[in-house]
Structures are given as structure tokens and as C-alpha cells.
Amino acid sequence: EAQVTQNPRYLITVTGKKLTVTCSQNMNHEYMSWYRQDPGLGLRQIYYSMNVEVTDKGDVPEGYKVSRKEKRNFPLILESPSPNQTSLYFCASSAQLAFTGELFFGEGSRLTVL
């Protein structure tokens, strides 16, 4: 089954404790992206990647890092989480580099930073 898998789905952590949210897709997609969803703000892009070893900033990259060492994986790293990073995070992938294609979303990871 074609899917985007995120882990963990739920996480409560404390300020400053490094964490990683993993994202894996089994569709051989080149394009992957991370979004955060906050009430009243919709989804905002954090980082994206057009291919292995090619990543770039989205609208709200501060406080986040990503890496793309393999095509299927695109982890989101919070080196020193802060309460304003409490949010619902979505990983997404797409087959097409031109923006005519569908974005496939994971089920989301709800992060709470105390």
C-alpha cells in the first residue's frame, strides 16, 4: 500500500530535549516536504527536498533541521525544542517535480513541548 509513514504520532517532551520525527514514503517520490498545522493558520511549509541531498527552507524553518540521505526518508529534527513548536506536523511527498502532482500526506505527528 502506497503511504507516507510518520513516527511518533504523538509526543510530549520538554524544552531543550532534542527530538527527531521520522518520515518514510514507499512510492519512490523525489519531492518531500514538512508542514506544521496550527489553528487558524492552515499548513505552513517548514522544509522541502527535491531529491537526495537537496533540501531547502520553507516559510517557517527556524528551529528545525532536516536531512535527505535516502530517497525514501526525510526526518525532521528539533535540536532544542521550545513551546512555540508545539504543533501538528505533516510530512508529504509527491512524484512530480513540476507542481502538477498530488501531495501525499502522512497521518501527522502531534508534538507538545512543555
Part of the chain binding other proteins (CB under 8 A), chosen from 21-29, 32-40, 69-77, 78-86: 32-40
- Pairing relation of β-strands 19-25 and 76-78? antiparallel
Q: Does 10 bind other proteins (CB under 8 A)?
A: no
Q: Which is nearer to other proteins, 24 or 33 (CB)?
A: 33
Q: Does 44 bind other proteins (CB under 8 A)?
A: yes
Half-sphere exposure of 73 (CA within 13 A, CB side): 9
Q: Which is nearer to other proteins, 9 or 17 (CB)?
A: 9
Q: Which residues of 78-98 are buried (b: 16+ CB within 10 A; e: fewer)?
A: beebeeebbbebbbbbbeeee
Give the chain's radius of gyration (CA, Å). Answer: 13
- Residue 95 CA to residue 27 CA, distance in Å, equals 8
Which one among 2, 53, 57, 70 touches other proteins, defined by CB under 8 A? Answer: 57
- Chain residues that interact with other proteins, rule: CB under 8 A: 4, 31, 33, 35, 40-45, 48, 50, 56-59, 90, 92, 97-100, 102-103, 105-108
